Amino acid sequence: MKTILVTGGAGFIGTNLIKKLLEDKNKVICIDNMYTGRLDNIKKFLNNPNFEFIKHNITKPIKIKEEIDEIYNLACPASPPHYQKNPIFTLNTSIFGIINILELAKEHEAKVLHASTSEVYGNPLEHPQKEGYWGNVNPIGPRACYDEGKRAAETYCYEYWKEFNLDIRIVRIFNTYGPYMDPNDGRVVSNFIIQALKNRPLTIYGDGKQTRSFQYIDDLVEGMLKYMEINKEKLEYKLKEKFNWNTIPVLNMGNPEEEFTILELAKKVLELIPESKSKIEFKPLPQDDPIKRKPDITMAKKILGWKPKVRLEEGLRKTIKYFYTII
Ligand code: NAD
Ligand code: UDP
Residue-wise pLDDT for 172-187, tens only, equals 999 999 999 999 999 9
Percent of the chain with pLDDT over 70: 100
Residue type, position 257, single letter: E
156 in catalytic set:
no
Residue type, position 138, single letter: N
Q: Which of 78, 76, 66 is nearest to 104 (CA)?
A: 66
- Any residues with Cβ below 6 Å from ligand 1, and which? 7-8, 10-14, 31-37, 57-59, 74-78, 93, 97, 115, 117, 173, 175-176
Residue 304 pLDDT class (50, 70, 90 cuts):
very high
User: Which residue among 119, 184, 205, 312 has the greatest number of ligand 2 atoms within 8 angstroms of its CB, and so is best to mutate?
Assistant: 205
Catalytic entry in 146, 156, 216, 227: 146
Residue 214 pLDDT grade (very low, low, confident, very high; cuts 50, 70, 90)? very high
How much is the pLDDT for 263?
A: 98
Share of the chain above pLDDT 90, in %: 100
pLDDT digits (tens, 9 = 90+) for 134-157: 999 999 999 999 999 999 999 999
Q: Residue 158 contacts by C-beta under 8 Å, 6 or more apart in sequence?
A: 247, 248
Tens-place pLDDT, residues 215-244: 999 999 999 999 999 999 999 999 999 999
- Of residues 217, 225, 227, the one with CA closest to residue 254: 217
Separation CA 212–CA 210 (nearest Å): 7
15 neighbors 42 (Cβ within 8 angstroms)? yes
Cα(85) to centroid(ligand 2), Å: 16
Kindly give the number of the ligand 2 atom that is closest to the alpha carbon of 195.
Answer: 8
Average pLDDT in the chain:
98
What CA dihedral angle connects 150, 151, 153 and 156, to 10 degrees? 180
Q: What are phi and psi of 299, to 5 degrees?
A: -65, -45
Residue ranges lining ligand 2, Cβ < 6 Å: 79-80, 175, 187-188, 191, 203-205, 210, 212, 262, 286, 289
Closest-approaching ligand to the CA atom of 212: 2
Indicate which residue's Cα is closest to atom 14 of ligand 1: 76
**Whose alpha carbon is nearest atom 23 of ligand 1?**
78
Protein residue with its CA nearest to atom 4 in ligand 2: 188
Residue 48: band (very low, low, confident or very high) from pLDDT cuts 50, 70, 90 = very high
Q: What is the mean pLDDT of residues 6-25?
A: 98
Task: Convert the pLDDT of each residue in 107-126 to its tens digit.
Answer: 999 999 999 999 999 999 99
Give the closest residue (by CA) to ligand 2 atom 10: 205
Taking only the tens place, the pLDDT of each residue in 197-207 is 999 999 999 99
pLDDT of residue 11: 98
Over residues 69-88, the pLDDT tens digits come to 999 999 999 999 999 999 99
What's the pLDDT tens digit per position in 152-173? 999 999 999 999 999 999 999 9
Ordered domains of the chain (ranges, CATH): 3-177+215-255+295-309 (3.40.50.720)
> What pLDDT was estimated at residue 80?
98
